[in-house]
Structure 1
Amino acid sequence: MADDLKSPLLGSFGSSNGHPPPAQVGVEHGHIISRGVSPRGQNDSPQGFHNQADLTGAEYSSGDGGSPRPEYFGNVGVQTEDLKEVPDLENGECEVKVTTGPASVGPIIESLDYEINENQIYKEHRDRVAGYRWQYVLLKWLFAFIIGLGTALTAFAINLGVENAAGAKFILLFKFMREGRVWLSFVVYTLVNFGLVLTSSLLVAYVAPAAAGSGIPEVKSYLNGNDIPEILSLRTLGTKIVGSVGSVGGGLAVGKEGPLVHTGAGIAALLGQGGSTKWGMTWGWLRLFKNDRDRRDLVTCGAAAGVAAAFRAPIGGVLFAMEEAASWLSSHLLWRVFFTTAVVSVTIKAAMGWCSKPGACGLFGAGGFILFSEPTARHGYTFFELLPTAVIGVTGGLLGALFNTLNCKVTKWRRNTLAPRGKRYQVAEAAVVSLLTSIVGFSFALLGYCKACPDPETHPNVTCPRRSGHFGNFVNFNCASQTGEYNPLATLFLSTNDDAIRNLFSTNTPLEYPPRSLLLFFVAFYCLAIITYGVAVPSGLFVPAILSGATYGRLMGVMLTRHFGPEMVDEGRYALIGAASFLGGSMRMTVSLCVILLELTDQLSLLPLVMFVLLISKSVGDKFTKGIYDAHILLKKVPFLEEKPEHYMRNITAYQAASKKLVTLSRVEKVRRIMQVLSSCHHNSFPVIDRAEGAEEHFSGLILRHTLLVLLTGKQDFQRSPKIRRLDTVMGTIHGGRVGAGAGGPTHDTYNDFAKPGSGKMLRVQDVALTEDEMEHYIDLAPFLNPAPFVVQEHMSLTKVYNLFRQLGRRHLAVIPAPQQIVGIITRKDLLPERLEALFPEAVHHHHLQ
């Protein structure tokens, strides 16, 4: 079901009597709808202000309802045979632009609708279900618990797979190297990586293209109000889990932390929609949450749970949801998010206990989760450390901005040149990147020189070289001595990315890494990360950013150690500061990253330095580019609403920005007319006009496309005559001889029949089978429409309109003419519960009975 991101509604005003009605409403892809015909005319302001072509230079193609599975990099468009041409729609014409060529690259995107449709069937359902309120609250907390538990166990399973796959690979590699079979070790290392990455890429390309990348831009877009198809489906979730093991275990310059955010969101979404409709995995008792508002809250909990599981940072997960993921967060939701991350923390702790005995979980050990806590001989910081911290902050901001710029250029090339050639080229690209990564890593480690191990008397806690089958520092690779030497480059290249970060964060190991080794590793890994992020595999960016920053941070520490001595400098501390600087320069997060890093390292005394470097790196990076996730959202052509509107929007009114070429439906509408509108117009919502005889035409409300399709499919509310249903004195009232909005009689369709489908097939107009006799029936739309949608006055500035969309999560706004009668004013005091309880005791009593 496609809605807002389509070509504009093109047509003319009109009514059955040949005169323009005084109150017309229509929906345009910019989400703003216009009511009223201004005497200034229809062509005095720019049309399509929110047209995606105006914002990004490309229009979205659209399909009806259950469109084919979208390809993130491919040709997406409407099939012309799906459209029925209707030359005249009585109230205006609707022409749909159809694009099927390369210009239509991008997914079909709908907007989410967070508004509760308080129509008659909703109120009947609420009154009919006993204990509705308490059941609703209890299920919210139960879902939060299940999301935390499921995300934690999934993260444990992913770590288990990555550690065993990577561990087996490195055991074979070092075994053959000790035997002197260099070429065999290289072939085994490369082929294992190639096989894991190829499996991941094939799954992404042919099963679930939405599983590519980290998933954080998609989750962030969803929580901003954009429903990108397939990103939260069961197929995408499974591909993300299995593919993460392949891409991370295959040695690519990626991490599993970003995909875990997507995984947590996917688990939450599937739970909220009652399972997967396509695979027949649905549960009726979960249908209470089949609406965008509740799913948004669940996905917020899932995203926070993903961060908490990835870094074992529950507070960091909460702050990530607040700062980066969610566009809307209430105090009640914050409590559930906090509870979810607490469940994650406890579950992961218990799961790691299952593997406490050697061999209990194969090659899985403490290295499976990022645990960077290192004992240090120095606590706190000195004033002179602020200067190198500032230098690292500026460096991180510049390198992060450069990373974003180069990665976006590679992504644009990938989208415009590689993707149109087909899925095989996407898989081939992933295979080439895997081979390149393996060759670079093995070659640098093989050509790297070996160093003598630290003196055991001065470093009694150091094990050098590293024992076979264990993670840690001091890897012996291609060294003359098997006992007294280690290879610094092999320590970084021939380890999992998590282990490499732990090696750089290690303390009490001064001058372990020569400057040349750190510089070579940084240049190689930095370049590999640029070309890898965006390949058709699940790929997170947290770990590559941490590893890149930790490398040049450690380099700064080595330089200071050589100048001031190891007694004054802790190299691992500067690795942590460097990691924070690159994260701030690339991702532009501050508070959540600060807490995540401190929870990772258990170095609370470094809080001022981490805060200082994050502020500097973010400020420097903001001067050049957007954050990496925001940049990829823009590349995906998602209509993301930033937190603040542009300043020039104060010079534009709602009337100027609104669409004024409209198509409407009558309150009692013929089935044939509804089919004509749905077949030729691909918009999500249609305004309903009450054209009662002897009364002034007026705007009754909005009715969703999905609601119309349910009515047409079920046929339970068809009637042979255009008779208005009997009045309901509770739902509606009589005003001046006409029926007020919300009036209606008993219906045959129930509230659950209109629940929004999940990730399965959506209803399409092509699926509606009607006989010629049924086409002549009528439907009274009053019980099913939204009788009180949000409206704005035509002279309101677009800045205020933007804030309403952003803060209230609107999908449509009706623009009403300025001359309006006032019926009252509501102040803050009118909303106080004690006053309302005194004025409306029956409503309060009715609420307590639920």
Structure 2
Amino acid sequence: EGKYNPVASLLLTTSEGAVKRLFSRHNVNEIHFRNELLAFLAYSTLNICLTGVPVPSGNFTGSMLIGGLAGRMMGALVRDYGQPGVAVSGVYAMVGSAAMLAGFKQMAVAVVVFITGAANDLNLVPPLMLAVTVALMLNKLINERGFDEEQILRKGIPYLGPEPPRLMDRMVALDLRDELPPEALLPPEASIRTVKDALEQTKVQDFPVIKEGNICIGFTTRARLQAALKSWEASGILCEGDVGNKTQILGLGNEEMTQIISGIIGRESSFSGSMLPVLRLAERSPYTVLEGMPGPRIYNLFAKAGAKSAAVVSEKGEFRGMISRNGLIEVVRRLEEAHDNRKFDDDTLDEDEEESSLVIPR
């Protein structure tokens, strides 16, 4: 009691509080180089060990704190062994935080605006811009993507970036189609066995509904088919081979049965006992794209317009295939992996090599 520990004042508080102390211009003689070095080593070790762990470790403010500590140490060295009147240690901390954030998140102007607003000093814009530019240049030489984007790719999160990959420029809709087995194509009225065969295609989440003439009239989802199948079977209309499962079906809990869309699928005299009206489960206004539509336009349809699935049709309106959001994400990632493996460079490839590079690896 009655003692003050500068290292504890940085570690035994929130990262926001520690950043405020580092940015302060009035505590030059309170936190010394050795204190900053110990805090830097401790916090950097903890931050590296917790990276990627599904806990709220605070990567944004954590990177600000690490950069601020590094900048503050540089300020202490300049003050003790260089020219002490250049700037106070808090300014060095702000420049270090900006450089660390720019490299970690691969942001530029946003970092400068954020740090300048925190300091409420427009005179910091030139040194911050210089630090951010150098940090971004060095980071681009080492890492192609920022931390958040790399996390998304490694964890397999279904995400589409704002811009399509360059390898997609000469691709068309036919090149982006999902691998759709014949069992996944459903008629407007399908038998129980047909629906079960479709649900066995585990990689398919959206099922096109095809009428006569090979015309797609909508898409239905796996969840809707499963719920409709449970509701239909629980109502007592069972197909051949399912009689033995009747007791199990009727034993469904209330919580599970509340999720079944029994209001859509019910007993109606217009349907036989072994048929499901799949058309009533489908979205009747699907996105349709011509088979020759350029790949970047299709990418924007999913990334910016929020489409989940689209039907690829011919000029006569015949169904040629389906493009789903998950399928497009897989194509994009295969293209990015091919780009990383081949060190693709559009400026050095001739036309024939570029055409061969556009083949999607399976």
TM-score tier, shorter chain, comes to: 0.5 to 0.7
Taking a change above 3 Å as real, the CA distance of residues 764 and 631 of structure 1, as seen in their structure-2 partners, is farther
| Cα 1:761–1:712 shift into 2, 3 Å | closer
Closer/same/farther in 2, CA of residues 688 and 525 from structure 1, 3 Å limit: same
**What is the CA–CA distance in structure 2 between the aligned matches of 1:783 and 1:491, rounded to whole Å?**
64
Residues 820/700 of structure 1: CA separation in 2 closer, same or farther (3 Å cut): closer
Structure 1 Cα separation of the partners of residues 135 and 272 of structure 2: 64
1:609-628, Cα deviation, whole Å (9 max, x unpaired): 43443343233212222211
Q: Which position in structure 2 is the counterpart of 1:802?
A: 299
Q: CA separation in 1, counterparts of 2:137 and 2:306?
A: 29
Give per-residue Cα distances to partners, 1:581-611, cap 9 Å, x unaligned: 1111112233443444344333344344434
* Match in the other structure for 1:593: 111
Of 189, 195, 213, the match for 1:674: 195
Partner of 2:340: none
Cα distance between partner residues in 1 of 2:42 and 2:163: 38
Residues 185-224 of structure 1: pairs in structure 2 closer than 5 A: none
- Residue among 638, 650, 660 paired with 2:169: 650
Q: 1:511 to 1:648 in 2, by over 3 A?
A: same
Alignment of 1:154-553 (within 5 A): 175=1, 476-477=4-5, 488-535=6-53, 537-553=55-71
Amino acid at match of 1:700: I
| Secondary structure in structure 2 of the residue aligned to 1:776 | coil
Could you say which residue in structure 2 is the equivalent of 1:372? Answer: none
Pair 787,505 (structure 1): closer, same or farther in 2 beyond 3 Å: same
CA contact (8 A) 2:47 2:57 kept: no
Judged with a 3 Å threshold, the aligned counterparts in structure 2 of structure 1 residues 761 and 633 are, in CA distance, closer, same or farther, namely farther
Partner secondary structure for residue 809 of structure 1: coil
Q: Aligned residue for 1:637?
A: 156
**AA paired with 1:802?**
Y
1:665 partner SS = coil
The answer to which structure, 1 or 2, has the higher relative contact order (CA under 8 A, 6+ apart) is 1
1:661 maps to what in 2?
A: 181
Aligned to 1:811, which of 308, 316, 334? 308
Letter paired with 1:613: A
Determine helix, strand or coil for the equivalent of 2:72. helix
Describe the SS at the equivalent of 2:26. coil
1:700 aligns with 2:217: yes
TM-score by length of 2: 0.67
1:793 aligns with 2:313: no
Aligned twin of 1:235: none
**2:169 counterpart letter in structure 1:** R
Aligned to 2:139: 621
Deviation, structure 1 residue 629: 1.4
- TM-score (norm: length of structure 1): 0.31
After superposition, the CA RMSD in angstroms is: 3.7
1:114 matched residue in structure 2? none
SS in 1 for 2:210: strand
CA distance in 2 between counterparts of 1:698 and 1:542 reads: 50
The 2-side partners of 1:761 and 1:548 are apart by: 52
Partner secondary structure for residue 522 of structure 1:
helix
Contact 2:209–2:216 (CA under 8 A) maintained in structure 1: yes
Match of 1:808, SS state, is coil
CA distance in 2, matches of 1:538, 1:613: 28
Deviation at 1:680, TM superposition (A): 5.0
CA pair 533-680 structure 1, distance change in 2 beyond 3 A: closer
- Whichever residue aligns with residue 534 of structure 1, its letter is G
Partner of 1:84: none
CA drift of 1:534 comes to: 3.2
Corresponding residue SS for 1:589 = coil
Structure 1 residues 560 and 544, CA, compared in 2 at 3 Å: closer, same or farther?
same
Q: Is the 8 A contact 2:71 2:92 kept in 1?
A: yes
Counterpart CA distance in 2 for 1:640 and 1:764 is 29
Distance in structure 2 (CA, Å) of the matches to 1:624 and 1:714: 55
1:558 aligns with 2:76: yes
TM-superposed CA distance for 1:542, in Å, is 1.9
Distance 2:228 2:300 in 1: 34
The answer on whether the counterparts of 2:215 and 2:317 sit within 8 Å (CA) in structure 1 is no
Letter in 1 for 2:300: N
Structure 2 distance, partners of 1:789, 1:587, is: 37
Alignment-mate amino acid for residue 785 of structure 1: A
Question: Which 5+ residue runs of structure 2 have no aligned equivalent?
Answer: 238-255, 319-362
Q: 2:205 — aligned with what?
A: 684
Shift of 1:710: 4.1
After superposition, give the CA deviation of every residue in 1:95-117 in whole Å (9 maximum; x if it has no partner): xxxxxxxxxxxxxxxxxxxxxxx
User: What is the deviation of 1:818?
Assistant: 4.4
Q: Percent identity?
A: 26
State the distance in 1 between where 2:130 and 2:93 align: 15
For 1:274-328, what per-residue CA distance to the aligned partner results, in whole angstroms no more than 9, with x for missing partners? xxxxxxxxxxxxxxxxxxxxxxxxxxxxxxxxxxxxxxxxxxxxxxxxxxxxxxx
Q: Is the 8 A contact 1:505 1:573 kept in 2?
A: yes
Q: Secondary structure at 2:78's aligned position in 1?
A: helix
Distance 1:809 1:608, change over 3 A: farther
Q: Cα offset for 1:541?
A: 0.9
Q: 1:521 to 1:780 in 2, by over 3 A?
A: closer
Amino acid at match of 1:809: G
Aligned to 1:641, what secondary structure does the other structure show?
A: coil
Shift, 1:511, TM fit: 4.8
The residue identity in structure 2 corresponding to 1:602 is: N
DSSP-derived class of the 1:814 partner: strand
State the partner residue of 2:96: 578
**Post-superposition offset of 1:575:** 0.7
Q: Contact 2:52/2:151 (CA < 8 Å) preserved in 1? A: no
CA deviation profile, 1:487-506 (whole Å, cap 9, x unmatched) = x4444345543433232222
Cα drift, residue 579 of structure 1: 0.9
Q: Distance in 2 between matches of 1:633 and 1:681?
A: 23
Structure 1 contact 795–818 (Cα < 8 Å) conserved: no
SS in 1 for 2:162: coil
Contact 2:70 2:93 in 1 (8 A): yes
Q: Which amino acid aligns with 2:4?
A: N
